[in-house]
Amino acid sequence: MAPREIITLPDKRLRLKSEPVKRIDASIRKLVDDLFETMYDAPGIGLAAIQIGVAKRIVTMDLSRKEEEHKPQVFINPEVIWTSEEKSKYEEGCLSIPDFYEEVERPAQVKVKYLDLEGHEHEIEASGLLATCLQHEIDHTNGVLFIDYISKLKRDRIIKKFAKAAKKVEA
């Protein structure tokens, strides 16, 4: 097992809509292992498969504290089925947009439907960091990034910065 490379802006694959998982087989379980390894190595608290270039609707997450035991969570075909009227603000970052952080307002509570690794369906009601992280990761499966929620001025500035940095590497 090896951590996989995390794709970053301006990689267009980040804008793809990922495909639902039809059957949870050995290749899906291997992909989940790779996602966890990549997420812990980064380190990050969540990771969507598209961030390693695989356009499948799979998300891994671990919101445990550093000093605690790992609490790995996997969400297959996750779907937001309800959002609260109440909003909350959280300073977000993204492994695909390194070193950029900005406050984002989202629904404070969400209900999410997903499959576990056995293919069993679950429904959870999330609040706090879990609600924020689930929305951030489910957005990735739909080609949406947290910078889509900030001002156009800031978004254009950050997109330009990454485009310029990529050009430099190319040259």
Residues that bind Ni ion (CB under 5 A): 94
Q: Compute the least distance from the CB of residue 136 to ligand GNR, in Å.
A: 4
Give the nearer residue to Ni ion in terms of CB position, either 24 or 100.
Answer: 100
CB count in 10 Å sphere of residue 49? 27
Q: Are 125 and 109 in contact (CB under 8 A)?
A: yes
Nearer to Ni ion, 24 or 37 (CB): 37
Binding site for ligand GNR (CB under 6 A): 44-48, 51, 90, 92-96, 132-133, 136-137, 140
Q: CB–CB of 90/106 below 8 Å? A: yes
Strand order in the sheet with 58-61: 46-48, 58-61, 73-83, 109-115, 121-127
Q: Determine whether 67 is an active site residue.
A: no
CB of 62 to ligand GNR, least distance (A): 10
Q: Which long-range contacts (CB under 8 A, 24 or more apart) does 84-91 make?
A: 84/108, 84/109, 84/110, 88/128, 88/131, 88/132, 90/129, 90/132
- Using Cβ positions, the residue closest to Ni ion within the complex turns out to be 94
Chosen from ligand GNR, Ni ion, none, partner binding at 62 (C-beta under 5 to 8 Å by type): none
Nearer of residues 24 and 42 to Ni ion, judged by Cβ = 42
* Residue whose CB is less far from ligand GNR, 47 or 108: 47
Q: Distance from first CA to last CA of the chain, Å, rounded?
A: 33
The active-site residue, picked from 19, 68, 103, 137, is 137
| Nearest distance, CB of residue 93 and ligand GNR, angstroms | 5
Tell which residue, 150, 153, 147, 152, has the closest CA to residue 10. Answer: 147
> Min. distance of Cβ 13 from ligand GNR in angstroms?
14
Active site residues: 137
